[in-house]
Amino acid sequence: MSTDQVPLPDTAVLFDGAACGLVVTAADGHILRANQTFCSWVGMTPAALEGRRFQNLLTMGGKIFHQTHWAPLMQMQGSVAEVKLELLHERGHTVTMLLNGVRREHAGSVFHELALLVTADRDQFERELIAARKRAEELLWEKTAAEAALQQAKVELSVAYEQSQRRALFAEQMVAIASHDLKNPLTAIKMAADLLAQGELDAREARLLGHISQSSERAQRMIADLLDFALVRVGHGIGIHRRPLDLHQVIGNSVNELRMAFPQASLVHHRQGMGDAEFDADRITQIVGNLIANSVAYGDLDQPVVIASRVEDGVASVSVHNRGASISPASMTSLFEPMTRGSERDDDVRSVGLGLFIVKEIARAHGGDVSAQSSDADGTTFCVRFPAR
């Protein structure tokens, strides 16, 4: 069916039921006709509207706008578009509408044809849009302020970190200097005690000299650990000088010396295989001393401390085993960290908590590492492994 054959509603029906308000006025604003849509919006009948001036339906602000803008524009350019006005409802409240108007001449008379749309939904959308924009601007400001605060915090944190690093370095340097300066007087004390021990002594004098000798050896071990700790902390690391040696012989000599330092303990040395390897004898001796001191401090002295040296398949190893209470799983996680001790005992073998840390660092300096295993049934074993060559 062609469009010419489609029946259309009567023009009067189209006018009254249009989707917008339609109003026709004379040039002076008197309403000549208003459709049913507009009448329902303002709460009046067509008969009540006809003959009234359109301006009288406006609020005071709308009347002023009509006089100063709308009427002159209609006169000069013959139309107005998207004029927002507030009209008075019959019940007294206002209805906001958007108006488009054109000026037409017909049969020698001038008419104004007005089309109006209620803007309630549009106003709500605009308010929500404005609120959303305001919130977005607030969030942007908050984000900018947060970023500025974060940047400032980063700067302050960087400054604080640099200051703490300088203080830590200064403290470590002071420890290193003090420890180094203490070595000479302690060595003198040890030598004097050894010389006095060569003379004839009664039981009391021998006991006192023994305490002096043990205390000086303990202090020397602590100072050695502190010096090594300071070297690691300032970034130099523990230095080693590897040369071909017999691992069994070096460990054996160390164990013999430690038997004098720890007379309360039974030290047993086991050799396994050939002992040819390349290592720093002084540092490996230091490892053995620290591990034996740890075993004496925390182990069962009624059972022997077993030291084993071994070279096999290109790997050299030194292990120290003791019986006694096992190390707790919680302590195992931080066992090789500095300033960590497994007991609060206050005796001749108590240290500043650097022994196992130094053992780990010496092992790493040799290209190896240290491990620990501990249980109530099997006791505790520390094992240092490193490449033999």
pLDDT tens, position by position, 20-46? 999 999 999 999 999 999 999 999 999
Reported as a single tens digit per residue, the pLDDT across 95-122 is 999 999 999 998 889 999 999 998 877 7
Both tokens assigned to 172: 């470590």
What average pLDDT does this structure show over 128-148?
Answer: 88
What per-residue confidence (pLDDT) applies to 205?
73
What per-residue confidence (pLDDT) applies to 344?
45
State how far the alpha carbon of 118 is from the alpha carbons of 101, 349, 367, in Å.
15, 94, 85
Q: Which residue has the higher pLDDT, 182 or 201?
A: 201
User: Bridge partners of 385?
Assistant: 317, 369
Q: Which residue has the higher pLDDT, 344 or 341?
A: 341
Secondary structure (H, E, C), 126-190: HHHHHHHHHHHHHHHHHHHHHHHHHHHHHHHHHHHHHHHHHHHHHHHHHHHHHHHHHHHHHHHHH
CATH class of 3-118: alpha beta
Domain ranges of the chain: 3-118, 125-230, 238-387
Both tokens assigned to 130: 């404005």
Q: Is 3-118's fold the same as 238-387's?
A: no
Residue 376 CA from chain centroid, whole number: 40
Pick the CATH number of 238-387 from 2.60.40.10, 3.40.50.880, 3.30.565.10, 3.30.300.280: 3.30.565.10
- Non-local (6+) Cβ contacts of 305 within 8 A are 265, 266, 267, 268, 292, 295, 296, 299, 320, 321, 322
In this structure, are residues 297 and 241 in contact, taking their beta carbons and an 8 Å threshold? no
DSSP state of 201: -
For residue 355, with 0-12 CB atoms within 10 Å meaning exposed, 13-18 middle and 19 or more buried, which class applies? buried
CATH code of 125-230, in short, is 1.10.287
- Residue 207 pLDDT exceeds 70: yes
Among all chains, which residue has been given the structure tokens 């505790």?
380
- Residue 219 pLDDT exceeds 50: yes
Distance CA 201, CA 206 (A): 6
